[in-house]
Chains A and B, each alone.
Chain A
Amino acid sequence: MKDKKLIFLLIMLAVILLSAIFAPLIAPYSPYEIDLSNRFAPISQSHILGTDHLGRDVFSRLIYGSRMSLISVLAIMVIILLVSLIIGSAAGFLGGKIDNVLMRISDVMLTFPTFILALFFIGVLGVGLINVIIAIAFTHLAWYSRIVRSIVLETKEKNYVLASKCMGTPTLKIIIKHIIPQVLSQVGILATLDLGHMMLHVAGLSFLGLGVQAPVAEWGVMINDASPFIRQHPELMIYPGLCIFITVAIFNSLGEYLKDKYRLKEDCNYEESVREPAV
């Protein structure tokens, strides 16, 4: 019963991933092809979901839009995992002053809500998708580094790690052999839960005009583009919103499923309270 749910979620995820990867093959039109003679075309055989205010094919734009959203969240995750692994291991293994300084900085970062912090980093770096990715990754770093650090501290004292240390295994090898698998398995679940949130952050920042810029096919941008025509053509706004909703819902259910399955019971409360609303 439960596994049916997992299979369903994985199939849905695969559909989204595949449509992102093979966007040029699936999309019937170019997402940027403007046809002013055919604005706001209704649903028809040639345009499955009609066209937008510039006569662009909505369906094609949605398919290409999945690329932007997925690439950005995956990039964010990769950055977070890599950097937090470095910071967390440094803090956990080196200890002392380095640990202290790193943790105090993360304390300060944790006082700020992620969205405000992301706004600040965009203020520093400037507007654009890459900067949004860096900014959102940065805002989550403090939290992930702490988790990695605690995993490092815990694993470091495990008997098998102590044993291999006694045999003279260098620290770097211990990190690769023992710490990284631990981190990936424990943080992986949390990361899945967070992917949805990050996607909402990216879309929110795009909506504010701070992320992906106008002509690019991205779901948040599409909602923003459609907003002036909300009275006459609400469907233009509903489609991309539904896309975001469904993708985020899949990530969230997958995360919940993994969390239940691997029983992160002990910190389940803390973890949930730490998850913040995205915009």
Chain B
Amino acid sequence: MTSFIIKRILLIIPIMFVVSFLVFSVLRLGPVDPAQAYLLNSRIPPTEEALKVTRVELGLDKPFFTQYAIWLKGAVTLDFGKSYMTKRDALGDLIYYFPTTLKITFLAMIMVIIVSIPLGILGAVKKDSIADKLVKLFSFIGVSTPSFWFGFLLIYLFALKLNILPPFGFDGISSYIMPILTLGLMSSAINIRITRTSFLEHINGRSAKYLKIHGVSNNTIMGKYVLKNSMIPVVTSLGMHFGELIGGAVVVEVLFALPGVGRYVVSSITNHDYPVIQCFMILMTAVFIIVNLIIDIIYVYLNPKIKYGSII
């Protein structure tokens, strides 16, 4: 197990390297001239003269690989350059906003787990009952609802009509409730289905039948055998959903005016603030790699058939 984890941690380095190269080169291949973007962000008219000066200033006159080398050298020492917009350190800015984003993502993840696993199991165990139909209906509505619209509906109902939750901004724990519900709705709905399908498949599986024939109690079969088996696809899916939840957090932060990376990233995208976009992608990659590693460790624990070395 330890060697598996060490191997995976060592793999982070080449993956980060490849991702950083792809991110850097794709941005350079794009139709936008970074020098022009820089000038627009600094509110300087992009005259020929100014562009020329800026290109030298930002090192854009050097060959592509030299530029990448310079950037990479900075990145290794955690210097991702300065934001075109704020003229502050890109990483510093992102790190300032990041905790809020992570917090709501994690809380939404917890909500997804708490909602989807029990409901999915309920649906499977009481298949075709009224409870199951309600669970199915909920998950159907959940996958079809635009989450930002759902957020507005929540604001209208709980903040404006009932007046029990603060509508926007950050104001104590209760301000997290609506963002988390908004963010977690879609993932919960999808994971309910996955849990239900997977649980059903194993309830009707031959191994469960074999145990049943030989008198093993239903509680043991469901609570031990079927549960562990059915969690395998659920864990994989939760791992993928973490990434989507971070993506969704961007929207939710804009919607609820929370001080997360959301607004900052959206404005850096509209303004072609390349250092911030690069830094954001690298930061995201790091987060996803760590989350994937955790998921894989849980996965290996759940499914002994996967040998430690075989998943990369």
A residues with a Cβ closer than 8 A to B are 105, 108, 111-116, 119-120, 122-127, 196, 200, 203-204, 207-210, 220, 223, 227, 230-231, 234, 237-238, 240-241, 244-245, 248-249, 252-253, 268-270, 272-279
Contact = CB atoms under 8 A, between A and B. Distances in A.
Given A126-B31, A272-B190, A272-B194, A210 B243 contact: no
Contacts of B270: 127, 209-210
Contacts of B19: 108, 111
A129 to B, nearest CB: 14
B2 interface: no
Contact of A269 (B147, B149, B233, B285): B233
A237 B18 contact: no
A58 to B, nearest CB: 16
Given A207-B148, A207-B251, A245-B144, 4 more contacts: A116-B243, A116-B246, A248-B145, A279-B186
Contacts of A249: 140-141, 144
Contacts of B247: 113-116, 119, 279
Interface of B: 15, 18-19, 22-23, 26-27, 29-32, 140-141, 143-149, 152-153, 155-156, 160, 186-187, 190, 193-194, 197-198, 201, 233, 236-237, 240-241, 243-248, 250-251, 254-255, 265-266, 268-270, 272, 277, 281, 284-285, 288-289, 292
Nearest to A203: B146
A110 B187 CA distance: 18
Given A204-B146, A248-B144, A120 B197 contact: no
Contacts of B201: 269
Contacts of A245: 144-146, 149
A119 B277 CA distance: 9
A208 B254 contact: yes
B144 A273 contact: no
A115 B144 CA distance: 17
A124 B30 contact: yes
A11 B49 CA distance: 61
30 contacts: A111-B288, A116-B281, A119-B250, A120-B23, A123-B27, A123-B269, A123-B272, A124-B26, A124-B30, A126-B31, A196-B144, A203-B148, A207-B251, A210-B266, A220-B146, A227-B152, A238-B153, A248-B146, A249-B141, A253-B140, A269-B194, A269-B197, A269-B198, A269-B201, A274-B240, A276-B190, A277-B186, A277-B187, A277-B241, A279-B244
A172 B16 CA distance: 38
A268 B281 CA distance: 31
A9 B131 CA distance: 25
Nearest to A117: B247
Nearest to B238: A273
Given A196-B144, A204-B251, A273 B237 contact: yes
A223 B149 contact: yes
A115 B22 contact: no
Contacts of B288: 111-113
B171 to A, nearest CB: 18
Contact of A237 (B152, B241, B268, B284): B152
B269 A252 contact: no
A277 B190 contact: yes
A101 to B, nearest CB: 12
Contacts of B141: 249
Contacts of A252: 140, 143-144
B119 to A, nearest CB: 16
Smallest CB-CB A-B distances: 4 pairs: A115-B247, A113-B243, A277-B186, A241-B149
A279 B248 contact: yes
